[in-house]
Chains A and B, each alone.
Chain A
């Protein structure tokens, strides 16, 4: 099978995942479609560099999230990630009595997605990178140009906001 044919099969298989990742990072459908297409274009051009022992998803997801973060930066939408008052460590509260896993379990997929989409970019992007792409704190820190601890703070804040959002939704909608 030629490289081109093999790539076409990989494309069929992984396009939805790449598209979903890009959508979670960029939020817009148009942007995600372009980004997914661009990701596969880059992957195709560099297909010879791909090492088959590495999962294809890891490789292509790495291209996708790099591209999306570049895209966010180019659109000047990338917020200042320097720690601010809200992110200060001494403002961190103790863990919530109702944990996020219980709140997620109590909601349907649509509400969880809406809550994640509603997060500010500076919280949503590390969250997606950490829990979907499964990047380590050090990798996220290097990618976003911040410290490892700051990644942790952003993730904690993201979870706090998610909790608050899901709790509100859960109270408003008993289902």
Chain B
């Protein structure tokens, strides 16, 4: 007797020969007839059927073993994908631009300069000269190469994105991202890279020298006689700025003397700050022991100070806010003066265009020369300690700012959860798991800035440090939003299946805002909300590879 092949019996057992087109085929009829007379083949078919059933059950068990998903359905949003992809492309482009500038113009240059200063063989001097030439004379040439390299660098992640996430609606998204990237490339900041100068002793930027970048200088003595067309940040023992800064100026030192011009804001902290004939185009923020501004100094913005003594002989175009042990005004203030001081003196040449409000131990601490002038009112506001005694609830500003914070946070939270819906999927566990979440949040809050500082010590790690700090600040801001949304969602979910994002966020933020504003407990609750929110976000990040963090 010729038995059918195992394949034929398998087809029969799997009922592949029972379907319409095959039911009356010669093959099907032959097997059926054979099975009527062959017990061995009947046994085989029965065994194959049992196998099939066992396989079906095994696979069904596999499905049943997958726990029910708590993830919520996210409606498809082409805008979300487009925005996210564009943000990613823009971020990558900006990072590559900055990284390239920092690596090439800083790391390579600094390495060669260091090598030249250490060994001084002619080859290093030559290399140093070549780099200096390219930096100063060949910037345009390198920018052209840079654009090409950046274009390729931008295309690579986009191609990767297409490969990884092939979706039908990705084409317009990619075109949009590409357009954004190209725009960013075309407005490449050629003159606003970061230059870092670190030397043990003195750094001098000569009068004829012009730097088109933002400059960060750390040295013992720093003298800036030249021109800086970006921001200037200096940390030193002694600082003298006689040249021009077209950006912001930020200075930390023992002694600071500024007699040049600053177009942007000026921030300074030092034992002694002297401004001699300085021209300051915007606000001035100063802290120190002794602050003196001579009669030639011009401030186009506001002046805010905290010091032991402040002598203001120059002119201020806007307001003056000062906390000082001894405040002497000899110059002209166009706006108001608000002062908290032990002693205040308006000298013969002093003139104030607005009001003078002051706090001091007693009203007589204000001494006004008969030739001094105050156009507005002079008001004594009481002792300084009264300011500290009053609770912030007493000031309407507090409520105004809280309201503004609430609206801004709602908008940011709504955008963040719309763009990154997984932020809304966090789950706060009870018991030990909840404590673990808080622990992770606290660790993140404390360790991230420490790590950023450690990484930032090295020149190469500086961009990474900035990114870490920026990410940490963003996470900090988002932490209470994430927790608020979770709270709002949890409350509404008890009554509805699918709470709307806006309603849940609004309710959650309201609860968090009220809780964190409570007297006495508010600060503690705010810290708790922050570390819980941070912990939830970190856990979400750590569990990103599991199915929405809910499946094992």
Contact = CB atoms under 8 A, between A and B. Distances in A.
Interface in A95-113: 95, 99-101, 104-105, 109, 112-113
Contact of A116 (B59, B65, B66, B74): B59
A152 interface: yes
Contacts of A164: none
A138 B19 contact: yes
Nearest to A57: B63
Interface in A40-67: 40-41, 44-45
Contacts of B21: 138
- Determine the interface band of chain B, counting residues with CB < 8 A from chain A: 35 or more
B56 A132 contact: yes
B459 interface: no
Contacts of B53: 101
B497 A8 contact: yes
Contact of B5 (A89, A112, A130): A89
Contact of B50 (A37, A89, A101, A149): A101
Highest count of chain A CB atoms <10 Å: which of B53, B55, B57, B67: B55
- Determine the interface band of chain A, counting residues with CB < 8 A from chain B: 35 or more
A155 to B, nearest CB: 7
A23 B58 CA distance: 15
Contacts of A89: 5, 7
A144 interface: no
B136 interface: no
A116 B498 CA distance: 37
A41 B77 CA distance: 10
Given A95-B48, A130-B14, A74 B66 contact: no
A40 B58 CA distance: 25
A54 B497 CA distance: 25
B18 to A, nearest CB: 9
B121 interface: no
A99 B55 CA distance: 11
A36 B54 CA distance: 26
29 contacts: A8-B72, A8-B73, A9-B497, A11-B72, A11-B73, A15-B68, A16-B66, A17-B63, A17-B66, A20-B63, A29-B547, A33-B547, A33-B548, A34-B165, A38-B167, A71-B166, A92-B6, A100-B54, A101-B47, A101-B51, A105-B54, A109-B62, A130-B14, A131-B56, A136-B19, A148-B16, A152-B10, A152-B16, A155-B14
Interface of A: 4-5, 7-9, 11-13, 15-17, 19-21, 24, 29-30, 32-34, 36-38, 40-41, 44-45, 71, 74, 89, 92-95, 99-101, 104-105, 109, 112-113, 116, 127-128, 130-132, 134, 136-138, 148-149, 152-153, 155-156, 159
